[in-house]
Amino acid sequence: MDGRIVDDWVMADFPPVLVQLGVDVFAGEGWEAFDRGEKVPPEPPAA
């Protein structure tokens, strides 16, 4: 388009930044609970 920038895609991973600020955007349901062993991941349904 005449050498102009028409799009600018920015990938930002905000949940980890918010965790560092003390905000749990997933209300305890994020991957951290599984990593700490507080929760067990669900098993896929049997085929």
- Per-domain boundaries in the chain: 13-41
Q: What is the pTM of this model?
A: 0.37
Spatial neighbors of 41 by CB under 8 A, at least 6 apart, are 34
Q: Tokens in use for 22?
A: 């003390």
Structure confidence at residue 1 (pLDDT): 62
pLDDT digits (tens, 9 = 90+) for 15-40: 788 888 988 887 777 777 888 888 88
How far, in whole angstroms, is CA 23 from its chain's centroid? 13
Spatial neighbors of 9 by CB under 8 A, at least 6 apart, are none
Structure confidence at residue 28 (pLDDT): 73
